[in-house]
């Protein structure tokens, strides 16, 4: 068969998307608020004649804006088409020792997909029964370490002391901290990049910056890590990011005030949602992200999922061992959260 020599991979399955505005879509951790008004202005002012030309290969417009806002030199910043692109590139760049890369058994389900795609051996390390990372598990011989902080889909945050401990025990391996949800109340490992040359911190515009649709992710690290990442990118596709994304991304990152306001709103709604879910008997670890990962001792997650879906509320369910009785519920607007809680009250009484 001519397919015999094709690459066969098990793809990642993203959460469902819908264009139906009557659906309460709290299944993929997007921001429930629009992006900064500065993004609209920047895109309106974009000279369309510029689109004739290739975009900046080094993405300077965006890299410089991010570097300025984060107070870093530009050569410690790398950008890509969403953090998925950045992370995939990092797997290709840093995980080539032939030894297994370590990540939790319950985590972002793209990690094993990239490992398989890029031919990287890996070992999934079980979280403890309360979904905590056990740091000693990461002392064993490995080809690199990656985990989200807060972890997804559990929402559990670890402190910088644990991250430093893992870094100290892996001086010759790259440790990637995927901070997709760090803006919702966690402490970023960013200040550690100058202390640990092997630390790569990855963030995204998709959750806290309301721009999942434009695809921007970024990595921060030592000049050395960023240089190697860039070399791989330029060996793969010089023009990963398009001009409108560079322009919109630079405008968004400079509007700190709007960013802080929307994040504060999400956190406020999350805290209300936690209280209400608790009253209804749901159990969950304290979430420091823009979602709650909850289970109910009396009702099956799958049944609740179907009930909510039939009432036009989408939440995320993973048919994966250990978490197949949990729902991951994104924090929406207050109105969306109220609809969710009202429906659950009806279901549970």
Ligand X SMILES: *Cc1c(COP(=O)(O)O)cnc(C)c1O
Site for ligand X in 199-218 (CB under 6 A): 204, 206, 212, 217
- What is the CB-side half-sphere exposure of residue 115 using CA atoms within 13 A? 21
Could you tell me the maximum CA-CA distance found in the chain, to the nearest angstrom? 61
CB nearer to ligand X: pick between 199 and 344 = 199
CA gap 41, 254 in Å, rounded: 13
Is 332 near ligand X (CB under 6 A)?
Answer: no
Residues 112-151 vs ligand X: string with x where CB under 6 A? Answer: ------------------------------------x---
Place of tokens 């608790």: 278
Are the CB atoms for 251 and 122 separated by under 8 Å? no
Site for ligand X in 255-314 (CB under 6 A): none
CB nearer to ligand X: pick between 221 and 344 = 221
* DSSP characters over 314-342: E-B----TTSTT-EEEE---HHHHHHHHH
CB nearer to ligand X: pick between 83 and 93 = 83
CB nearer to ligand X: pick between 108 and 343 = 108
CB nearer to ligand X: pick between 202 and 313 = 202
CA gap 269, 143 in Å, rounded: 40
CB of 299 to ligand X, least distance (A): 26
The count of residues interacting with ligand X (CB under 6 A) is: 12
Site for ligand X in 27-86 (CB under 6 A): 82-84
Residues 166-195 vs ligand X: string with x where CB under 6 A? Answer: ------------x-x---------------
CA gap 91, 85 in Å, rounded: 10
CB of 227 to ligand X, least distance (A): 22
Backbone angles phi, psi at 79, to 5 degrees: -125, 155
Which string of b and e fits 46-69 if b means at least 16 CB within 10 Å? eeeeeeeeebeebbebbbebbbee
Residue nearest to ligand X (CB): 82
Binding residue (CB under 6 A) for ligand X from 39, 113, 133, 152: 152
CB of 228 to ligand X, least distance (A): 20
CB of 271 to ligand X, least distance (A): 20
CB nearer to ligand X: pick between 55 and 82 = 82
CA gap 62, 214 in Å, rounded: 13
CB of 291 to ligand X, least distance (A): 9
CB of 287 to ligand X, least distance (A): 13
CB nearer to ligand X: pick between 201 and 344 = 201
Are the CB atoms for 192 and 164 separated by under 8 Å? yes
CA gap 16, 330 in Å, rounded: 13
Which string of b and e fits 70-89 if b means at least 16 CB within 10 Å? eebebebbbbbbbbbbbbbb
Binding site for ligand X (CB under 6 A): 82-84, 108, 148, 152, 178, 180, 204, 206, 212, 217
């Amino acid at each position: 068969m001519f397919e015999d020599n094709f690459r066969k991979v098990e793809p990642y399955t993203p959460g469902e998307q819908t264009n139906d505005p009557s659906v309460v879509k709290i299944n993929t951790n997007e921001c429930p608020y629009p992006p900064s008004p500065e993004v609209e202005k920047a895109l309106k002012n974009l000279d369309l004649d510029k689109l004739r030309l290739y975009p900046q290969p080094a993405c300077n417009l965006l890299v410089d804006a991010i570097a300025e806002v984060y107070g870093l030199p530009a050569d410690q910043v790398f950008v890509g088409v969403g953090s998925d692109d950045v992370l995939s590139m990092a797997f290709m760049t840093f995980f080539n020792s032939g030894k297994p890369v370590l990540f939790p058994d319950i985590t972002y389900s793209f990690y094993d997909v990239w490992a398989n795609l890029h031919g990287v051996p890996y070992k999934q390390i079980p979280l403890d029964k309360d979904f905590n990372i056990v740091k000693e598990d990461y002392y064993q011989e490995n080809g690199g370490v990656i985990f989200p902080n807060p972890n997804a889909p559990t929402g559990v945050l670890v402190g910088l002391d644990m991250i430093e401990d893992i870094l100290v025990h892996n001086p010759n391996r790259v440790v990637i901290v995927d901070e997709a949800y760090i803006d919702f109340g966690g402490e970023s490992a960013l200040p550690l990049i100058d202390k640990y040359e092997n630390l790569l911190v990855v963030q995204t515009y998709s959750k806290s910056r309301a721009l999942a649709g434009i695809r921007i992710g970024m990595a921060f690290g030592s000049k050395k890590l960023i240089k190697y990442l860039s070399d791989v990118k330029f060996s793969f596709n010089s023009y990963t990011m398009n001009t409108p994304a560079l322009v919109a991304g630079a405008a968004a990152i400079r509007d700190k005030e709007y960013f802080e306001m929307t994040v504060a709103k999400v956190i406020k709604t999350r805290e209300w949602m936690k209280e209400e879910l608790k009253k209804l008997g749901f159990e969950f670890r304290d979430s420091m992200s823009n979602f709650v990962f909850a289970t109910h001792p009396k009702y099956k997650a799958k049944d609740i999922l179907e009930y909510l879906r039939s009432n036009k509320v989408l939440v995320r369910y993973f048919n994966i061992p250990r978490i197949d009785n949990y729902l991951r519920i994104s924090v929406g607007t207050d109105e969306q959260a109220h609809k969710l809680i009202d429906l659950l009250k009806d279901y549970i009484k």
